[in-house]
Amino acid sequence: MAHPGPHPGMMQLVLELRQNGVADPIITAMERVPREMFVAQAFQERAFENAALPIGHHQTISQPLVVAQMTEALALNDRCKVLEIGTGSGYQSAVLAPLCRRLYTIERHKALQDEALARLQALRIHNVTTRCGDGSKGWPEQAPFDRIIVTAAAVDIPPVLVDQLAVGGIMVVPIGDEQHDQRLVKVVKLADGDTEITDLGWVRFVPFVPDDGHA
Ligand code: SAH
């Protein structure tokens, strides 16, 4: 059977990403991920809107433009070992995986982790390791990471994750409280252990919930 090819809605989305200044390599990576696979049946028609959508458990699949901006900020290459906190639907993971050597991704909801893993397997993405647990502890056995991406809003830059970042490594994380929009922050770890922080603008994410949280 012939390959079905990209969904027609993808063309409009790609145009919107381009108009917002997203660079070609990131556009190509996103064109290859069928976003409709990552949203529930009820939201199929909206899969290519540039919007966050519900994925159950009070969580959302990230907005495509924000996925693009975070992916771009990570400046990935095929030698990068990457940690993602907040697997959610697995959409951001599917965009990242082909751009890096290996991706480790943590999700606190077991049902979401299982669904994300099934989607990644269906897409024959084999360089992703998933774990169910509290991402605020990072993944110490696999540290250090060249890149870290947090896809839920933290109140402050998590020091544990800075510790697990390699020197010269990059972390992107939305910072702010859950009642408001947050600032997307890029953290570069310097040779002396210090960090260089760049503000990348407003974003809106569901909260990062530590182990003792109830969300
Ligand atoms: N990147 C995802 C969007 C995830 S939404 C996508 O593309 O679909 C944020 C996710 O972070 C939610 O699924 C939420 O359950 C998860 N999360 C929140 N706090 C967490 C924590 N402490 N550890 C692991 N996952 C967490």
pLDDT in tens, 33-64: 999 999 999 999 999 999 999 999 999 999 99
Ligand 1 probe mutation, 37, 39, 119, 206, most atoms within 8 A of CB: 206
Residue 158, ligand 1, Cβ within 6 A: no
Residue 105 lies in a domain: yes
Residue 186 falls within a domain, yes or no?
yes
85 assigned to some structural domain: yes
Work out which ligand 1 atom sits closest to the CA atom of 112: 13
- Residue 62 annotated among the catalytic residues of the structure: yes
Q: Is residue 125 part of a domain?
A: yes
Helix (H) or strand (E) holding 5: none
Q: Which of 46, 30, 33, 210 has its CA nearest to residue 116?
A: 33
Q: In the chain, how many domains are there?
A: 1
pLDDT digits (tens, 9 = 90+) for 95-154: 999 999 999 999 999 999 999 999 999 999 999 999 999 999 999 999 999 999 999 999
Helix (H, G, I), strand (E, B) or coil at 113: helix
Domain extent for 107:
65-203
Residues 100, 80 contacting (CB under 8 angstroms): yes
Can you list the positions of beta strands (E) in the chain? 53-56, 59-61, 81-85, 102-107, 128-132, 145-150, 165-175, 182-189, 195-203
Residue 80 near residue 144, CB atoms below 8 Å = no
Share of the chain above pLDDT 70, in %: 96
pLDDT of residue 8: 81
Residue 71 lies in a domain: yes
CA triple 199-25-101, angle to 5 deg: 85
Beta bridge partners of 59: 56
- The CB of 182 under 6 Å from ligand 1? The reply is no
What region does 39 belong to: left with phi over 0, alpha with psi -120 to 50, or beta?
A: beta
- Cβ–ligand 1 contact at 35 (below 6 Å): no
Pocket lining: 130 vs ligand 1, CB cutoff 6 Å: no
Coil, strand or helix: which one is 152? coil
In a domain, 161, yes or no: yes
Considering only residues 134 and 9, tell me which one the structure prediction assigns the higher pLDDT: 134
Has residue 20 been placed in a domain? no
- How buried is 69 (Cβ within 10 angstroms: 0-12 exposed, 13-18 middle, 19+ buried)? buried
Q: Is the CB of 174 under 6 A from ligand 1?
A: no
Predicted confidence at residue 4, as pLDDT, reads 65
* Alpha carbon nearest to ligand 1 atom 2, residue: 88
Is 5 within a domain?
no
Pocket test for ligand 1, best of 139, 150, 209 (most atoms within 8 A of CB): 209
The enclosing domain of 69 has a CATH number of: 3.40.50.150
pLDDT tens digits, one per residue of 166-215: 999 999 999 998 778 999 999 999 999 899 999 999 999 999 987 765 54
